[in-house]
């Protein structure tokens, strides 16, 4: 579309900051996708992931420093980069704004010699609001009243300037020049409209919520997370407390899933039906199959959890973990790049990394796959139906066959054939009457 989009932030914001699971700059990109403008400019925005965060072009988004809040500087910028074109000027980032709202506004309210604005309304019995009330006649602006902080004690509808403007570059330059002559250092965004300008009123004011400060960012994040939770409840999820759950936009949750408070679901995560996710769980870019229980304070990263599995509490499934189904991964168990067969379990205090574990394997407490030799990561392979005793160390690379028993306390650094018992520990020696001699030696010190 032949239009320039300018977003003005009166307070400096780092566009890499998170808003309900996505960086702010992604919401600017979403406006680009909705409107497809010829250019996007953000005034007084920073992008700290890029050290050159001033006057740069990043994916067709130009970031300008706070000096461009001065009317004369913004006017000069328009003179250089937005010549003879439509301009959509938005004060603050509007992450909830609807594509149809923007299209309708741009297609029906553009005037080459006037400015058009979107307004919204407040009709609460008692509200506190500080901003600009609009007085209009038909669809045109008659007067702007500066509203001070006060209580409205009636149900009177107040029409409020949302500070979203559409105009021609020449009109905007003219009005910025006017303010530059009044005060060169101050940007009068709310006063840009004047008598005779066009007004498009949107009664659905939720989509016009803006972010112009860090406080706005946090408040809107809570609102977005809450609205997502309500949407999932409507689709059949059981969310115990929709005010305290944090679900990213890309997450998919099937009907019948139960989510307890303080769960974080990030990225491209998919939770399938009849699974339960308990409090304190964080899941990123993972698939949880049907009828799983993820117990409290478990962390799952880029993993696959097969149906009927029980995970946690306080387990850590790191990147590349694949559980084939009906698995038990208990408290203080850590897995990484491991493929664990159906029915196998590691119930507590275990590290399994760079390994393949077969079906119906029991892994005792304190088992470690020693996968790193100081230079390379090496693989441990354990066959089906094995019993691994407590406190076993596998010195990779090593391969264990099917139906193997590994005795507790063993250090295994050689392959074990199927059907064998592997035991590697020193012979136990019992010394009679040792205790009294030991105490006597201690007392002489």
Q: Are 105 and 151 in contact (CB under 8 A)?
A: no
Closest CA to 394 of 409, 407, 374, 380: 380
Active site residue 348: yes
* Element spanning 434, H or E: helix 434-443
Q: CA neighbours within 13 Å on the CB side: how many for 417?
A: 0
* DSSP assignments along 159-222, one per residue: EEEEEEEEEEHHHHHHHHHHHHHH-TT---GGG---TT-EEEEES-GGGG--B-SHHHHHHHHH
Given 348, 354, 404, 406, which residue is catalytic? 348
Q: Does the bond joining 313 to the residue before it have cis omega, within 30 degrees of 0?
A: yes
Residues in the chain: 445
* DSSP assignments along 60-84, one per residue: TEEEE-GGGGSHHHHHHHHHHHSTT
Q: Are 92 and 189 in contact (CB under 8 A)?
A: no
- CA dihedral (384, 386, 390, 391) positive or negative: negative
Tokens of 21: 């699971």
Q: Among all residues, which ones are annotated catalytic? A: 348
């Amino acid at each position: 579309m032949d239009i320039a989009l300018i977003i003005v932030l009166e307070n400096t914001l780092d566009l890499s900051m998170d808003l309900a699971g996505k960086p702010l700059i992604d919401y600017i990109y979403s406006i680009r996708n909705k409107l497809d403008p010829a250019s996007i400019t953000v005034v007084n925005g920073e992008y700290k992931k890029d050290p050159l965060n001033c006057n740069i072009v990043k994916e067709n988004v130009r970031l300008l420093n706070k000096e461009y809040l001065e009317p004369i500087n913004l006017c000069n910028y328009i003179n250089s980069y937005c010549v003879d074109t439509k301009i959509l000027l938005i004060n603050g980032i509007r992450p909830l704004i609807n594509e149809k709202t923007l299209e309708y506004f741009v297609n029906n309210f553009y005037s080459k010699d006037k400015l058009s604005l979107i307004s919204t309304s407040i009709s609460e019995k008692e509200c506190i609001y500080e901003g600009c009330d609009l007085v209009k006649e038909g669809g045109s602006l008659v007067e702007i009243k500066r509203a001070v902080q006060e209580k409205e004690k009636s149900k009177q509808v107040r029409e409020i300037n949302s500070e979203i403007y559409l105009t021609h570059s020449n009109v905007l330059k003219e009005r910025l020049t006017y303010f530059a002559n009044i005060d060169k250092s101050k940007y009068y965004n709310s006063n840009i409209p004047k008598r005779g300008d066009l007004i498009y009123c949107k009664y659905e004011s939720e989509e016009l919520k803006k972010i112009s400060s860090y406080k706005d960012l946090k408040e809107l994040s809570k609102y977005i997370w809450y609205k997502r939770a309500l949407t999932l409840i409507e689709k059949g999820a059981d969310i115990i407390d929709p005010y305290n759950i944090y679900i990213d936009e890309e997450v998919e949750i099937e009907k019948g899933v139960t989510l307890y408070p303080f769960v974080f679901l990030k990225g491209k995560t998919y939770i399938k039906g009849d699974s339960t996710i308990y409090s304190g769980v964080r899941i990123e870019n993972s698939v949880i199959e049907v009828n799983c229980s993820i117990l409290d304070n478990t962390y799952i990263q880029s993993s696959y959890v097969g149906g009927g599995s029980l995970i946690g509490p306080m387990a850590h499934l790191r990147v590349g973990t694949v559980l084939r189904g009906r698995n038990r991964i208990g408290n203080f168990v850590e897995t990484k790049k491991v493929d664990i067969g159906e029915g196998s379990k590691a119930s507590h205090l275990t590290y399994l990394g760079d390994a393949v574990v077969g079906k119906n394997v029991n892994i005792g407490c304190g088992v470690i796959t020693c996968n790193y030799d100081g230079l390379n990561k090496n693989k441990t392979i354990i066959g089906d139906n094995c019993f691994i005793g407590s406190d076993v160390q596998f010195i990779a690379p090593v391969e264990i066959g099917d139906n193997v028993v590994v005795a507790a306390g063993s250090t295994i650094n050689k392959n074990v054939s199927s059907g064998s018992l592997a035991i590697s520990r020193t012979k136990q020696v019992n010394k009679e009457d040792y205790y009294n001699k030991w105490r006597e030696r201690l007392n002489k010190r």
